[in-house]
């Protein structure tokens, strides 16, 4: 803004809000105004929730999930089958798979994928922790649920190599047509994979 039209505290709030993914400079301004208008219903509670999250949040030392307790809610849930580990790239993938609600397993968050071009090597990911968890025993199956990208597949191969000789079944997510997806819009690779993995009705 050429001239100041509001206090520096509000300008600062707008600048910080603009760094939140999903908000840009323009929507940050809109968001800030909305928050200020709903001062007591939204701005205050949100400030408190952020402060509390900032004080309490930690990364689970076992699986890498984000939580306020360590071990996290998932790792300390005794109703889960901890002999099945779902290996994911990011915490958001863990949450997404949990929303699907298809498995009652435990997780392991890698924190990314191997990417030599970006300087991400095995030591930058939580792979040693995974090998350790499997070596400690009690893990029956490892479901490698990384993204179907080149980096994801490279990472999956690397993990498989690291676990060679250990008593664990390693699986990966099925490729195929997304539920509700239209064939016309799908790429050839997905269609070919779906045809190869066809099932009888």
Residues that bind a copy of itself (CB under 8 A): 1-10, 12-13, 16-17, 19-23, 27, 29-37, 39, 42-54, 56-57, 65-69, 72-74, 77, 90-92, 94-95, 98-99, 101
Q: Which of 50, 73, 75, 70 is nearest to 60 (CA)?
A: 70
Q: How far is the CB of 137 from a copy of itself (least distance, A)?
A: 25
Q: How far is the CB of 199 from a copy of itself (least distance, A)?
A: 26
Q: How far is the CB of 90 from a copy of itself (least distance, A)?
A: 8
Dihedral (CA of 128, 131, 137, 141) sign: positive
23/148 with CB nearer a copy of itself: 23
Q: How far is the CB of 84 from a copy of itself (least distance, A)?
A: 15
16/197 with CB nearer a copy of itself: 16
Task: List, in sequence order, every beta strand (DSSP E) within the chain.
Answer: 58-59, 66-67, 81-88, 105-109, 141-144, 169-172
Distance, in Å, from the CA atom of 171 to the CA atom of 157, rounded to the nearest integer, reads 11
Strand arrangement of the beta sheet that strand 105-109 belongs to: 105-109, 81-88, 141-144, 169-172
4/198 with CB nearer a copy of itself: 4
The string of DSSP letters for 119-154 reads TB-GGGTTHHHHHHHHHTS---EEEE---SSHHHHH
32/139 with CB nearer a copy of itself: 32
48/118 with CB nearer a copy of itself: 48
Q: How far is the CB of 197 from a copy of itself (least distance, A)?
A: 27
């Amino acid at each position: 803004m050429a001239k100041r039209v509001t206090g520096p505290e509000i300008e600062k709030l707008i600048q910080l809000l603009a760094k939140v993914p999903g908000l840009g400079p323009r929507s940050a301004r809109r968001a800030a105004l909305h928050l200020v208008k709903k001062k007591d219903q939204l701005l205050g509670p949100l400030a408190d929730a952020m402060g509390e999250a900032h004080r309490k949040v930690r990364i689970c030392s076992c699986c890498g999930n984000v939580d306020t307790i360590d071990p996290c809610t998932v790792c300390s849930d005794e109703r889960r089958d901890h002999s099945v580990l779902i290996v994911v790239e990011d915490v958001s993938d863990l949450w997404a798979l949990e929303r699907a609600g298809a498995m009652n397993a435990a997780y392991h968050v890698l924190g990314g994928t191997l990417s030599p071009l970006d300087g991400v090597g095995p030591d930058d990911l939580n792979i040693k922790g995974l090998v350790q968890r499997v070596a400690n025993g009690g893990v029956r199956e490892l479901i490698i649920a990384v993204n179907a990208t080149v980096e994801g597949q490279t990472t999956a191969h690397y993990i498989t190599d690291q676990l060679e000789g250990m008593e664990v079944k390693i699986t990966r997510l099925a490729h195929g047509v997304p539920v509700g997806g239209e064939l016309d819009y799908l790429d050839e690779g997905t269609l070919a994979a779906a045809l190869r993995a066809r099932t009888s009705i």
